[in-house]
Structures are given as structure tokens and as C-alpha cells.
Structure 1
Amino acid sequence: MRRKLMEKQKLSQVKNIKIHGRTSGKLDPLTLFWTSSGVEVNFKGSELWIEVAVNYTLFEPWIYVLLNDELLSRQMVTKGTHEICVLRGMNKDTIKNVKILKDTQAMNGDQKHCFQILSFISDGTFEELAEPKLRFEFIGDSLTSGEGTVGSKKEEDWIMPFMSGYYCYATGVSKHFGADFNVISQSGWGVCSGWDNNPTTIIPPYYEDVCGILTGKINVELGAKNKWNFNQFKPNVIVINLGTNDEAALFGSPPFEYKKILCKQTSVEHLMHGIKDFLVKVRKDNPTAFILWAYNMCNKGLTEDIEDAIGEYKREYNDKKAGFIKLEYADGEMIGSLNHPGKLAHESATKRIITYLIENNIISSL
């Protein structure tokens, strides 16, 4: 039973609150789309709950809770409107930094998938939040959604427990630098085609939307198709980890039938042009950010080609604030569930990206 004297507050009534991830801007309720989107507060009190509204057909959302930047809990959230206990029995006089974040990605394949935070219920107050030291943005596919970071190697069922934003390299890099971060990722998607040669499951056309990859009337009404205001979040560093599914399509998947036409990733050159075009778009929308393209974590046949494409882009557009990093290829003990890179692989990627940013004077020069 919850204690008495608890106060319910809509998110708009909380003066000191930070929203993480791309959202529509509406707080009552707050709809969370992307991996690691959520809310952050500095809570002074002993007990804190959230009220949520959840719907889905196939894929339920999961959340994770950070207490003073360390994992406190991770849990499935079931359908309906209900309350979730975040903290209880804490020292009422101390200030606790609390982040409640979506652990699962936006669900393109489930038109009813929806996770909303309606209110806080607490016996305390919400204190002022500090500004972040840096801001990061991570763009990718299943690797950036943290697919495979939970569960044993034998797990093959594509279900939500085996996907976690918390264990992803994006979280590790951001935590190291004390940075806020946004994630834009979708399993199976690419630059020019998805893993199965589907030409529509690609990130670049939707990059300028709040969460344009989503389908269905509900998501449109919630603002997923709205244009994103790039002034809301200006990243210092953008890490793009795309190309893995394009490589799978190019070398391993049969043609995909789209509108009665058989589609196939045509060539390495086509992909390289797609990469450069996407970099042009990302640069237009983020004129001051350092853009780092990462690759080799899962597939490695196109690593040198992608590195060459980044080099060509830098020369053709005279962009000195762009680079490429080769991540450690995950095999053996580095494989997690769903035949994806596991925690060890993400720890390796985290270390390599941190080292690159420090050794190349990217962070200190910002």
C-alpha cells in the first residue's frame, strides 16, 4: 500500500523536469517513441510513483529506471492505465536524481504500440536540474536499439525482453561524458534498404521527423509524423552506426517484392552514394556537430568501403568535423541473444568511441 499524503501532479505541473528523446512537445500526456526517451527529475522525498497509459498489439514496452545514474530496475509495462512504483522508503531529506526511460525502440511493426507517462505521484518535491556537459545523438539500427544485449546466446525469439537501451553503447558513451542523448534507431533498417532489400525501411527519409518511421492513425495523432525542431536539441556529437543491414541485403538476401516490383540493393557504389547523401542531410540539420560514422560491429565486408565513403564526403564537402571509426567485430563470447552483439561487444564499442573522441581532441575542442 502507498503511504498517505501523496500528491498527484501532471507533468506540466512539475517545474523542474527534463524530457529525453524526440517527442511531440506535449506533456499531458508525454508520449515516448524512441529508445532511451523519457523523463528526469531531482526528487527530494521518500516515495515516487508514475502513472502510465500503455497499449500494443504485439510488442509491449519496457522501461528502465536510473537512480543517481545507476540501474535501479528494468521492467515490462502491461496494457492499460496504471501506477508504477519507482522509489519507496528512501531518505526523505536527500535529493535523488531519477531517470525513467523507455528501454525498447519505436515499434514500426506495431501500429498500436504506445507508451505514455501521465503524472507523478509522490510525497516530496522536484528540485532544480543541472545542465548537461554535452549532448549526443545516436542514429542506427538494431545495434543502436540494444537488440541482443539481454538473454543467453540460445535465445532466438524476437521479443522485447532481449532488447535494451540501457546496455547499448549509446548509453555507455553518454554516461562517460555526462551527456544527454537522443537515439534514432530501428532494427533491420538501413541507409538504402533494410536487411531484406525492402527499399522503404531506411532511416534517412525520416530523420527530420519526430518519429516518422511509425505507422497508423494513432501515431499520426500523437505527433510522430511532425517535423522535428532541431533547435530543441543541439548535439555536440552525432554517432551514426548504419550499413549493417544494407550489407546483409547486398550479399545475403534475395530480392524484396515492393509494389509488384522485385527490389535488390544494387551495388556497393549505390550504398556509398546513399551514405554521402545522408551525411549531407545530417550536416544541414546540425551545422556545428561532429559527425562520427561507426561500423564493423556486426558485419565487416563493407568496412573499408564505408570508410572510403566518409573520406570522399569530407573531401567533396570540405567537412572537417566528420570522421570514421572501426569498431571491434563481435564474435565468440561477444555474441549475445538473437545472434546479435551482446554486452561485451557494446562495452568494446563504448570504449573505442570514447577513446576516439578524446584522442582526436573532439570533446576538448567543443
Structure 2
Amino acid sequence: MFELLGIVDTAKICDRILNSVEMTLVAKANSTKSETSSLIAAEIPESTGVKITPDNDNFNYSGRVNWEDSQAPVFSYPGKVVEFRFTGTSLKIELSEDNWGGENYIDVYLDDNPQPVTIKLQRKWGKSVIYNIASSLENKEHNAVIVKRTDYVAGGFEFNSIIIDGELLPANPDSEKKIEVYGDSISAGAVVEYDRAGVQDPEGDKEHLYNAYYSYASILARSYDAEVSLVAQSGASLIDGFGYWHRGTGMEAFYDKSAPLDDAPLWDFNNYNPDLVIIALGQNDSASIKIGEDLTAEAWKDRYKQFIANLRAKRPNAYFVGMFPNMYHDREWDVYLTEAIAEYRQEYNDDRVFSLIHQQVTPGHPRISEQQMMADTLRQFIDDTLIKNSFNWSLAN
């Protein structure tokens, strides 16, 4: 699935330009979320107001963030979130793009508006860019959520500051429900916003159609009012040396990293303690590994079991669901996965690990409706099978 790399032709996602005194907005065409188009905030040359740096305690971060520089934390994985509350009449955000990937997109949700402002990050080779998100707001309390739409196919970005003309308020408390997901492009929400379901992906550039906010994992988390951490990367296989991501870098090599690279800084697992861990890997293994030539089925299952064991050492209290998503693949791999989990349960005497195989519905990446199907199936599985086996949402606490 690494073949999704490409440079986005802006003309494909923009159909009109609206000019105003405060900023230029580009309306995105063909939105699958509502009849109202999302907006892409253009760069503005200068700003006024109070600049607040990302190390302020009133920012609430979800997912893996690299804090090596407290003034410029790095967002690499998809679906990473920073949420905050503020007063005043305007909001600007300052970001730096890392300049090497495809086109990087961010969504900013403001107050109760379900339609976000979408930012296509500008490449300034290390120089930060200030984007105008909103002006002429009512002078009252506001809530904002910044979401990284794209995975590391498009690279990462640094969060440098927000600029407001009011006050940053204490953050909303974290949810007591936490989910962690290890997956590939399906979990990352690749091509979810394409407007045709059940078909192959469109030709050409696709990053503008990525949106981790509409992956099954994010949908599932919102249905429970839970927090989610997506450790997902397009093209990634479970087994290192296969798949389609960065010279065959597999989840085995980066599951414990702050970015999907084998040489990225290590992640401190103590920073996030999930109640539920979802392992949605195998799609790229099935497409790139020839069983009987590259590996035996037993060898793949052993590696899968070892991966679960590695995660169990980090997540001693969590329930695990190993699943195959609903994109077409060789059905024999469903057998390998379910057998691996059954063998793991017996060999490790671990009854908190379960398997789930979704019905295959599409030859292309799942769209929003097909991601919703997986979220619904997972919710039913959690509310029925897991709860009957003593799962609850306070395990991490």
C-alpha cells in the first residue's frame, strides 16, 4: 500500500477560492462528510495576539507525540490530536512541516461545527508557518481539536504554537477509556474520503482522501467517548522485511517507536495505558509474503505470537483483539491469524486475547461507510464477547 505516495494536485480538491480581509479559504470539493465543503486555510504573512507554546499544561494531547523538543513536539502517526479551550475572537496555529513526504493535511475542529478547517501544510524547509483558523468569533469560551489526517507517507509536522487574542483555559479531563491500535493503511484511514465504496482506489494522487478521523478506530473511540492512539502506517506488514513501507520496515521494528521508522526515538509505554489493544495487521503480509517460499505458515504464526507477547509485557492488564479488516485478501491468512491467537492463548495461558475476522467487502481501501461497518462490528464484539469475558473500561486505571 506504499504505492499511495504521490504529490497532490491541488486542483483535484479545490473548486473555488473565497477572499476575505482576514485570510484566503479554499473550498474542498467532493466532500463525503456533508454537503458543506471543508475549508483549507492558506498561509498568512503575519499575526497578532498572544502566542502560547505547546509545553503549556492546558493543551491535551492524544497518541504518540515526540517530545524531544518541548517547544516543537513532532506528530508522525495519523490521528494524533491536540485539544484545547480558549477565550477570544480569533485562532491561529503555527506549524512546521518536515518537507520530505507527500502532501500533509491537518483538520481543525472548532466548537460544535462538525465541518473542520482543513490545512494543506506549506513546505518552508524548517521555517514555521502561521495559519489563520478563525476570526470574528464570538468572545466566549471555545473548544478546538487539531487532528493529523495523514500517516507518515506524508511525513510529520511540528506543533509550534497557537495564537489567540484571549486566554488559554484548563484542558478538559482525559477520558478514562483508552484504545490503542497497531495497523496499516486501513487503520490509518487511507482513501476513506473517496466517494465510491466497494471499488478499487482511484488513480493518481490520494493523500487528500486520507483521514484518520474516519478510520474504524477513531469512529469506535468516539462511540465510547474514548481516547485512541493509532500506531498505524500505510504499507506496513507485521513481519519486518516485507510489506510496502520504507524498504520493508515492519511493525515488529517500529511498534515501540515514536514514528514508523526503525531508528526513530523509543516510545515510553508508560505515557499511555490502554484498556483495549487492537492489532489489525496481516493485509500487507498476505500481499507480500509467499507462504512456503519466504516463510512457512508456522513461522509467521510464531512471529505473530511473539508480537502479542511483546505487547503483553507492555500492557499487562489490557484486552487484545487481533483482527483482519474488511479489505479483500487471501482467506487462508484468516486461518493463520485465528490459529496464531488460539495457540498463543493456550501456550501463554492468556485468556484476554481474542480474534475477529471482518467480512470482506471491498477490493480498495475501506471508505467511511466501510470503516463504519468495522467500527460497528468491533463495538458489538466488545459489548458482547469481551464484556462476557470480564472486560471493562477501567483496566488501565
TM-score tier, shorter chain, comes to 0.7 to 0.9
**Distance of 1:343 and 1:357 partners within structure 2:** 21
Alignment-mate amino acid for residue 344 of structure 2: Y
2:299 aligned residue (247, 259, 270): 270
Q: Deviations over 1:187-228 (max 9, x none)?
A: 11111253369984210122122225167xxxxxxxxx2221
RMSD (Å) for aligned C-alpha atoms = 2.6
1:171 Cα deviation after fit: 0.8
| 2:354 counterpart residue number | 323
| 2:161 counterpart residue number | 119
**Distance of 2:73 and 2:394 partners within structure 1:** 35
Task: Determine if contact 1:167/1:343 at 8 Å carries over to the other structure.
Answer: yes
| 1:259 counterpart residue number | none
**Distance of 2:296 and 2:382 partners within structure 1:** 32
**Distance of 2:210 and 2:246 partners within structure 1:** 23
1:54 aligns with 2:97: yes
1:71 Cα deviation after fit: 4.2
Alignment-mate amino acid for residue 75 of structure 2: L
| 1:221 counterpart residue number | none
1:136 aligned residue (179, 191, 203): 179
Task: Determine if contact 2:254/2:260 at 8 Å carries over to the other structure.
Answer: yes
Task: Determine if contact 1:239/1:293 at 8 Å carries over to the other structure.
Answer: yes
**Distance of 2:137 and 2:281 partners within structure 1:** 42
**Distance of 2:246 and 2:136 partners within structure 1:** 51
Q: What are the residue-to-residue correspondences of 1:202-221 with 2, within 5 Å?
A: 202-213=250-261
Going from structure 1 to structure 2, the CA distance change for 1:120 and 1:189 (only over 3 Å counts) comes to same
Task: Determine if contact 1:358/1:364 at 8 Å carries over to the other structure.
Answer: no
Give identity over the alignment, percent. Answer: 21
Alignment-mate amino acid for residue 19 of structure 1: Y
**Distance of 2:256 and 2:269 partners within structure 1:** 8
1:64 aligns with 2:107: yes
**Distance of 1:56 and 1:159 partners within structure 2:** 18
**Distance of 1:98 and 1:365 partners within structure 2:** 27
**Structure 2 segments unaligned to the other structure (5+ residues):** 1-20, 24-46
Alignment-mate amino acid for residue 144 of structure 2: V
**Structure 1 segments unaligned to the other structure (5+ residues):** 216-224, 253-262
2:64 aligned residue (22, 29, 33): 22
1:165 Cα deviation after fit: 0.6
1:347 Cα deviation after fit: 0.5
**Distance of 2:375 and 2:111 partners within structure 1:** 20
Task: Determine if contact 1:44/1:126 at 8 Å carries over to the other structure.
Answer: yes
1:2 Cα deviation after fit: 5.1
Going from structure 1 to structure 2, the CA distance change for 1:296 and 1:156 (only over 3 Å counts) comes to same
Aligned residue pairs total 335
2:286 aligned residue (247, 256, 264): 247
SS of the aligned residue for 1:341 comes to coil
SS of the aligned residue for 1:74 comes to strand
| 1:231 counterpart residue number | 270
**Distance of 1:61 and 1:344 partners within structure 2:** 24
1:358 aligns with 2:383: yes
2:151 aligned residue (105, 115, 128): 105
Q: Deviations over 1:69-121 (max 9, x none)?
A: 7442333112122211223333222x3321101111123xx7xx441121110
Alignment-mate amino acid for residue 156 of structure 1: E
Task: Determine if contact 1:249/1:264 at 8 Å carries over to the other structure.
Answer: no
**Distance of 2:175 and 2:204 partners within structure 1:** 37
**Distance of 1:304 and 1:33 partners within structure 2:** 33
1:138 Cα deviation after fit: 0.9
1:303 aligns with 2:334: yes
Going from structure 1 to structure 2, the CA distance change for 1:316 and 1:226 (only over 3 Å counts) comes to same
2:373 aligned residue (348, 352, 366): 348
